[in-house]
Amino acid sequence: MKRAFTLIEVNLAIMVMAVGILGIISLYAFGFREERQSREDVASAAYADAVMGPLVTALTATNVKWSAFRKLPNSPGEYGWGHYLENRSTGKVVSNPEGLAQSAYTRTISALNIGEGFPSGFQVPRQKAGNLKAALVVMHDEDSAIVRISFRAVDKSNLLFAAPLYYTEARFQGIIDGEGGGE
């Protein structure tokens, strides 16, 4: 007598294989999502470098006078990241965060009075940044020799506060011109 598989055994084997195949297929969606997020994170880091690099270079320039440095304004203002919120209770982000970021960059560069050589706004090629929306905060306490800079960039502006935060500090290295001391 020949032994054969029963219908129950065949169905059980098919079910085990189907669960395994469905598990593998479900990993594709996860992989695609992670790949997209990885591309956005790399573009965000490149964007942060393109914006923060010239800003730190300008802030640490040796021809910056202490009288200009010590009076650097907080940009976009005293509330820092709060300026990017249209509605604080719901967390709704303003419609044009990049305009505020450009303003913060421009205010900081122009307050240094270092003349030509630094762009008045940040310019990032679109192929590098994609469709990222930028946000920049420059914080400085009057008479402090340190400026704190933080930056975020994200594809959808409503997710701005979920984006990675890039942070750096710039220390005064310029000319002490007798106004206020400078430590």
Q: Which helix or strand (DSSP H or E) is residue 146 part of?
A: strand 146-154
AA identity, residue 131 = N
The residue whose two tokens read 């940044």 is: 129
* pLDDT tens digits for range 113-161: 877 777 777 776 665 556 788 899 999 998 899 999 999 998 888 888 8
Distances (CA, A) of 12 to 2, 15, 17: 21, 5, 9
Closest CA to 174 of 49, 101, 72: 72
Closest CA to 45 of 168, 164, 170, 169: 164
Other beta carbons within 10 Å of 137: 24
Strands 92-93 and 85-87: antiparallel
Q: Give pLDDT tens digits along the chain (183 positions).
A: 678 888 999 999 999 999 999 999 888 888 888 888 888 888 888 889 989 998 999 999 998 999 999 989 999 988 889 899 987 777 788 888 888 999 999 899 888 887 777 777 777 666 555 678 889 999 999 889 999 999 999 888 888 888 889 999 999 999 888 755 544
Q: Which two tokens stand for residue 51?
A: 């914006």
173/60 Cα distance (integer angstroms) = 5
AA identity, residue 154 = V
Closest CA to 169 of 137, 124, 135, 129: 137
The pLDDT score that the predictor gives to residue 182 is 45
Cis peptide before 54 (omega within 30 of 0): no
Q: Which two tokens stand for residue 73?
A: 């304004």
